[in-house]
């Protein structure tokens, strides 16, 4: 297996291009209470990203194919009303705790906390009104060689059951290395839990292509993953991927084994919806989480992060009742998500590490989405 991490980190260190990028802002919609939701557009000549303040969400990302033709490769909506309705976490910044917490409960410093349960018996992505359903303030918009936008949200003590006032920021930056960099930071005024990530759904053939992602080829450089129970909470086991449909250490079609009815884990997740172990703790610099290639367009996505895990999700809950910005109804396997984060249910499973944040500390998660030069047709014939 190739050392993709070195290749990605080397590419991300390329010098900035001479051509300047652009960052512009404009109204996207108005909330029922009259507050205006803005959208910021970042472009560097190759990539164009649009970020809305509602949920600090990546609404679109235009990327060229092997012939230089751009297409939007992320799922999302054309209007604010749709985000206010059935959000599906499209492109959202999720928190205060991304992924699931068993039973909507945890204990911190001897005190029990009860959270909103919005996923059967469990809490998912921060609860009923998580960070994806909050209006973030736009703190800074910068042009130049690396255009960026920084957004901020202050979550009050007790929101969705979590202790402490948490101040969170996210900065989206386009670099000259055809990379969208997302950096989450958070501080608190009292001990709490935090796990922030981005929940973008990708289809490298194009959001409006009508093609599924089952023929996309994926490589995840993890030799372990965390199996789940019937409610998709980790069992506590950290299991080897070898000999299972979860082994993507060598590039494979996403759909190659997704319908294996003998694999109980696939049945529980309705496909892939599992955490892969990238390391035993967060890292100082981003490390490779996954590499995905679409044979139809030649587009390639490399995801890296400082987080110890990455949730691989194949859009299993998309059921054709959601209409996206291109007018297509989104269906199961129309997109995949790669969510770099702490392990699910870490607050209740000490063996997974810690999600604790104290007033003296700071949370940080850096995620990079890099789009290297699209592959040639012969690269797809493997």
Write out the H or E segment, with its range, that includes residue 183.
strand 179-188
Asked if residues 365 and 183 have their Cβ atoms less than 8 Å apart, the reply is yes
CB burial of 208-239 (b: ≥16 within 10 Å; e: otherwise) equals ebebbbbebbbbbbbebbbbbeeebbbeeebe
* Catalytic option among 159, 160, 183, 339: 339
State yes or no: is 199 an active-site residue: yes
What's the CA gap between 183 and 206, in Å, rounded? Answer: 25
Asked if residues 137 and 152 have their Cβ atoms less than 8 Å apart, the reply is yes
* Catalytic option among 160, 183, 199, 274: 199
In DSSP notation, 209-272 reads S---STT-EEE---SEEE-B-TTS-B-S--EE-TTSTT--SS-EETTSSTT-TT-HHHHHHTS-
Asked if residues 312 and 226 have their Cβ atoms less than 8 Å apart, the reply is no
Q: How many CB atoms lie within 10 A of CB 353?
A: 16
Instruction: Return the DSSP state at 367.
Output: E
35: tokens are 């507050």
State yes or no: is 216 an active-site residue: no
Q: How many CB atoms lie within 10 A of CB 161?
A: 18
Chain centroid to CA 68: how far? 26
Q: Which residues are catalytic?
A: 199, 339
């Amino acid at each position: 297996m190739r050392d993709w991490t070195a290749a990605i980190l080397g590419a991300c260190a390329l010098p900035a291009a001479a051509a300047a990028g652009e960052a512009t802002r404009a109204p996207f919609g108005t909330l029922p209470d009259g507050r205006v939701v803005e959208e910021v557009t970042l472009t560097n000549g190759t990539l164009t990203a649009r970020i809305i303040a509602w949920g600090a969400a990546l609404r679109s990302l235009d990327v060229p194919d092997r012939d230089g033709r751009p297409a939007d490769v992320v799922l999302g909506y054309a209007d604010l009303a749709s985000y206010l309705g059935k959000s599906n976490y499209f492109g959202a910044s999720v928190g205060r705790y991304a992924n699931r917490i068993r039973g909507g409960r945890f204990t911190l410093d001897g005190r029990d906390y009860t959270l909103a349960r919005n996923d059967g018996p469990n809490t998912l992505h921060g609860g009923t009104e998580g960070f994806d359903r909050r209006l973030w303030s736009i703190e800074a918009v910068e042009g130049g060689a690396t255009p960026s936008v920084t957004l901020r949200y202050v979550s009050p003590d007790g929101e969705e059951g979590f202790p402490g006032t948490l101040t969170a920021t996210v900065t989206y930056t386009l670099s000259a290395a055809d990379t969208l960099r997302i950096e989450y930071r958070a501080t608190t005024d009292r001990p709490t839990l935090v796990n922030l990530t981005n929940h973008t759904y990708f289809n490298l053939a194009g959001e409006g292509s009508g093609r599924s992602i089952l023929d996309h080829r994926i490589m995840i450089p993890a030799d372990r993953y965390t199996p789940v129970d019937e409610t998709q909470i980790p069992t506590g086991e950290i299991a080897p991927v070898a000999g299972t449909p979860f082994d993507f250490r060598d590039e494979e079609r996403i759909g190659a084994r997704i319908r294996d009815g003998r694999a109980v884990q696939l049945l529980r997740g309705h496909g892939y919806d599992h955490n892969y172990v990238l390391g035993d703790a967060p890292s100082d610099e981003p490390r490779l989480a996954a590499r995905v290639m679409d044979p139809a367009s030649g587009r390639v996505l490399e995801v890296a992060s400082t987080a110890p895990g990455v949730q691989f999700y194949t859009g299993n809950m998309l059921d054709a009742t959601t209409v996206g910005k291109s007018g297509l109804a989104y269906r199961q396997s129309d997109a995949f998500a790669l969510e770099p984060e702490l392990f699910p249910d870490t607050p209740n499973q000490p063996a997974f590490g810690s999600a604790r944040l104290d007033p003296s500390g700071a949370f940080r998660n850096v995620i990079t989405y890099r789009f290297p030069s699209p592959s040639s047709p012969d690269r797809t014939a493997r």
